[in-house]
Amino acid sequence: MSPGATGLKWSALINPVTRDAPRNRLHLSIVEALNAFLIQVRETERNLMERDMYVYEVCKPFLLLMNCNQ
């Protein structure tokens, strides 16, 4: 039986994935954007932690003085 007899087109039989290509590209773009966002969040958190440690080290003598006076 030929594909024409079943009512199917050759393009649908040969490569059905090409019909989903725009949707696949959209999904890939969303995943890439989320990945970039998560990397940025992780870097920001690390920078904040480093800043907090720096501030703590700078203020440590003053914190010790304040605790000694109580």
CA-CA distance, 30 to 38, in Å (whole number)? 12
Q: What pLDDT, in 10s, does the model give residues 21-70?
A: 777 788 888 889 888 998 888 889 888 889 888 888 888 888 777 776 55
Res 17: pLDDT: 58
Number of domains in the chain: 1
Residue 56 tokens read as 């703590």
pTM above 0.95, yes or no: no
Domain that holds residue 51: 3-68
